[in-house]
Structure 1
Amino acid sequence: MYLAYFGDDFTGSTDALEFLSRAGLRTMLFIDTPTAEQLTAYPDLDAIGVAGLTRSMAPEPMEAILSKAFPLLKALDVRHVHYKVCSTFDSSPTTGSIGRAIETGLAVFKQAFVPVLVAAPALGRYSIFGNLFARMGIGSQGAIYRLDRHPSMSKHPVTPADESDLRLHLARQTPLKSGLLDMLQIAKGQAVMRQEADRQVADGTRVLFIDALDTEQLCTIGAWLDTGIDAPKPVFSVGSSGIEMALGAYWNQTGDISSETDWPVIGPAEPLLVISGSCSPIATRQIQVAIDNGFAEILVPVADLAHEEATSRLMREVMATALPLLLRQQSVVIHSAGEQAGKANAVPAERLGTTLGRIARQLVGASATKRVVVAGGDTSSYAARAMGIEAVRMLAPLVPGAPLCTAIAPDSPLHGLEVNFKGGQVGSDDYFCLLRQGSAQNSV
């Protein structure tokens, strides 16, 4: 295989799945790290991903999980192992520490340094002289902000962005020295990139960030990642799906693989079931637009998630309200945002995501729902597990960063259903309406 990646949440993992699949690699995303023996059931795969939970974890449990997962991925016959993080570098010293993930990876892969590519130009994420900029909304035409001034990310409920310089941000999480291949050095090509990387590593750099402003630069970066790093295979890297974009672009250029352009036409799905644990202002607007266009709204009172008995009662009440609507072919959005967003922030991602996933599983089992959307990066991993999903394959691109997938869930009513997992920052205001009607963007 070409690549194996471990994602720090589910929505980010489907993002990487999309760009590998569009590059032409036959890819499957698993809930748990598969062993080599388990993969014998899928002999056609070119790449695999694992949708983890580490983005919402403290450093110690993160390390416990990654110290087991990384050796399993290293043992595969694969050219690259990638720890996939959010393209806005969501992390802190206490939650989702990317610094701890890098330290764990260095201990397992024994490299002189770890390349880190956070930029993902196709998603509106740009790194310029080590500073990260992000568009307001993925798959939209929103304005671009320096990360620490981003209207949404600077106010993230768990990991607010108050520093745009990636090196300074990471320095709070690890004592490892960070360096940078800046955009001017990348523009000079492979020889300069290798020379500069060698110089910085000799000076003690263990983490090497990589700038990127446009998609043309990604092919140069992909070539360096695949052939320019003096390390035994697999090469371990950290970053956004820019890693998959860069390597895929390079492999397409060399002719190793051919990009995939023949995607099925995605038609309408009525009713559409949406569950959202996101508190992003983007997701909040998307919910309102959906309601304005005929979706029924069911607001989850987060105070009822404090105790199991109250949670069970809440689930029964939501079922009693939502099921008749779905049976009448009316699309439904079940969410925890809106005026109570501040309270929702205090609810553990595991409890909120698991509850929403259990509700979705029961509703699908009792109705004719054929397409389900899950919104919210911090809650999606738990929701997917509660829904009984074991793995997903990409069905077609709809909005960049959030492909439509087919669920593999043998013991769940979701088996074979169309599922879409999106982060809170993804999509235009009419995102849920597009997912209901099928999208003209399925050829992007």
Structure 2
Amino acid sequence: MPIVLGAIADDFTGATDLANTLVSEGMRVVQVIGAPEPDASYGDAEAVVVALKSRTAPVEEAIAESLAALSWLQSEGAEQILFKYCSTFDSTPQGNIGPVADALRDAMGCELALICPAFPKNGRTIYNGVLFVGEAPLAESPMKDHPLTPMRDSNLMRLMDAQSAGKTGLIPAPIVQQGAEAIRAKTAALIAEGLSYAVIDALDEIDLRTIGKAAADHKLITGGSGIALGLPDNFRARGKITSRQSGTFRATEGRALILAGSCSTATRAQLAQAKAKWPYAKVDIDKVAAGEDVVTQLADWAKAQPVDSPAIIYGSADPEEVAAIQKRYGVTTSGQMMEDTLSALALRLADAGFDRLVVAGGETSGAVVSALEIKMLEIGPEIAPGVPWTQALGRRPLTLALKSGNFGQPSFFEDALKVLP
């Protein structure tokens, strides 16, 4: 049976976030890592989410990987494509959201694609085209100091126009609140004006479900996981998917490891709470740069901790410390050293019986999953909005939670481990 919905996510945590949303809406979903081989098997999935590590990759690489994913999804019958990026529109003025969206739109022959990163459960809303994080506009939120994608503008039309070859219009909240037909009429008007994209306001989940209904016939949708809330019902109404299915998720039994590379305000608060309870060690990037075997040192430390306690290893730091490290080693080099260290630790400790991993940070999650050679994930129980447990399918039995840096309450790490039996 062909899949009906295909998704392309620009990082691994975003992919699990989206897969979690679709599962909660009753779809059978598989998350795959990278564009699958032509003969890849995905069982009886109705939706496949392809997780890429393309958010901060060179533009040409991000485009090529996204188009390869698109080609595979279309070959498997996907009727609709969702390009999933972060609910804080993480990107630079050069991309990669705009260039990838352009490439997908051109390849699919789409007149106009929607832009909606709203995720109200996590405080991301859009009004008059301005993206809010809680009560603050994006550019006044902690995202303004993100080490890789600092967000210095809150207006999604301006952000998209800076990156894209097309022009961007707005479908404002009053039209959204009039219902799906009003959204369709406004979309047609924007197409008639020659626009390529439409930012659409969303203040709550009711808006997102209305938008989903209006987008039933759109070939390409772009945004956060929230935009997917209303899509499964469209396929269900057409008889393209079956009734809600129960999962077969079974967590592995083993020691727990928390790896944090995110420097977000949320992750640092979560670490502060967890460190008051459990043993922890910090990656010393200067020692890594000096060539010391930090991986062996930290792996030995983790193995020596009490078996009934999670071990925390982190590289997260406040903006001042991050800036100082980047000044010493450069943005790219310092980030790569941290990713390489944490992913090597994941590999070393998974072999030592740490079978339950919580990973904080999109880039870190991508590095860890790649190092572990995980190709497919089954979605399990939700820990917090946008963050489920997952089970690696394949030769290495592992249970993983891949957390976007900005997601979760201060108790997230404790909450995560309480969810598992």
Q: Give the TM-score normalised by the residue count of structure 2.
A: 0.90
In the alignment, the residues of structure 2 paired with residue 5 and residue 377 of structure 1 have an alpha-carbon distance, to the nearest angstrom, of 17
- Are the counterparts in 1 of residues 36 and 69 from structure 2 also a CA contact under 8 Å? no
Deviates more, 1:400-409 or 1:258-267: 258-267
Deviations 1:180-226 (CA, angstroms, capped at 9, x unpaired): 11111112223322221111111110011111111112222111111
1:426 deviates by 1.0
Deviations 1:159-179 (CA, angstroms, capped at 9, x unpaired): 112111100111221231101
The gaps in structure 1 that reach 5 residues or longer are: 136-143, 230-234
Q: Provide closer, same or farther for how the CA distance between residues 93 and 162 of structure 1 changes in structure 2, counting only shifts above 3 A.
A: closer
Q: Provide closer, same or farther for how the CA distance between residues 318 and 265 of structure 1 changes in structure 2, counting only shifts above 3 A.
A: closer
Q: Aligned ranges for residues 209-220 of structure 1 at < 5 Å? A: 209-220=199-210
Q: Aligned ranges for residues 328-407 of structure 1 at < 5 Å? A: 328-338=307-317, 340-343=321-324, 346=331, 347-367=333-353, 369-407=354-392
**Residue aligning to 1:301:** 284
The DSSP-based 3-state class of the residue aligned with 2:216 is helix
2:31 maps to which of 29, 32, 36: 29
Q: Provide closer, same or farther for how the CA distance between residues 334 and 177 of structure 1 changes in structure 2, counting only shifts above 3 A.
A: same
Q: Provide closer, same or farther for how the CA distance between residues 192 and 104 of structure 1 changes in structure 2, counting only shifts above 3 A.
A: same
Q: In the alignment, does 2:222 pair up with 1:238?
A: yes
Q: Provide closer, same or farther for how the CA distance between residues 8 and 344 of structure 1 changes in structure 2, counting only shifts above 3 A.
A: farther
1:301 deviates by 0.9
Once the two structures are aligned, what percentage of the paired residues are identical? 26
Q: Provide closer, same or farther for how the CA distance between residues 420 and 343 of structure 1 changes in structure 2, counting only shifts above 3 A.
A: farther
**Residue aligning to 2:270:** 286
**Residue aligning to 2:17:** 15
In the alignment, the residues of structure 2 paired with residue 189 and residue 173 of structure 1 have an alpha-carbon distance, to the nearest angstrom, of 30
**Residue aligning to 1:97:** 96
- Are the counterparts in 2 of residues 118 and 210 from structure 1 also a CA contact under 8 Å? no
Deviates more, 1:75-84 or 1:251-260: 251-260
Q: In the alignment, does 2:177 pair up with 1:187?
A: yes
**Residue aligning to 1:121:** 120
**Residue aligning to 2:56:** 56
In the alignment, the residues of structure 1 paired with residue 71 and residue 37 of structure 2 have an alpha-carbon distance, to the nearest angstrom, of 10
The one-letter amino acid paired with 1:102 is: A
**Residue aligning to 1:138:** none
Q: Provide closer, same or farther for how the CA distance between residues 24 and 349 of structure 1 changes in structure 2, counting only shifts above 3 A.
A: farther
The DSSP-based 3-state class of the residue aligned with 1:353 is helix
Q: Provide closer, same or farther for how the CA distance between residues 286 and 163 of structure 1 changes in structure 2, counting only shifts above 3 A.
A: same
Q: How many residues align?
A: 411
Q: Provide closer, same or farther for how the CA distance between residues 265 and 321 of structure 1 changes in structure 2, counting only shifts above 3 A.
A: closer
In the alignment, the residues of structure 1 paired with residue 200 and residue 351 of structure 2 have an alpha-carbon distance, to the nearest angstrom, of 46
The DSSP-based 3-state class of the residue aligned with 1:325 is coil
**Residue aligning to 1:206:** 196
- Are the counterparts in 1 of residues 251 and 399 from structure 2 also a CA contact under 8 Å? no
In the alignment, the residues of structure 1 paired with residue 179 and residue 367 of structure 2 have an alpha-carbon distance, to the nearest angstrom, of 42
Deviates more, 1:167-176 or 1:269-278: 269-278
**Residue aligning to 1:141:** none
The one-letter amino acid paired with 2:14 is: G
Q: In the alignment, does 2:149 pair up with 1:159?
A: yes
The DSSP-based 3-state class of the residue aligned with 1:172 is helix
CA RMSD in angstroms comes to 2.4
Q: Provide closer, same or farther for how the CA distance between residues 378 and 262 of structure 1 changes in structure 2, counting only shifts above 3 A.
A: closer
1:261 deviates by 7.4
Q: Give the TM-score normalised by the residue count of structure 1.
A: 0.86
1:66 deviates by 2.2
Q: Provide closer, same or farther for how the CA distance between residues 122 and 252 of structure 1 changes in structure 2, counting only shifts above 3 A.
A: farther
Deviates more, 1:253-262 or 1:209-218: 253-262
The one-letter amino acid paired with 2:161 is: A
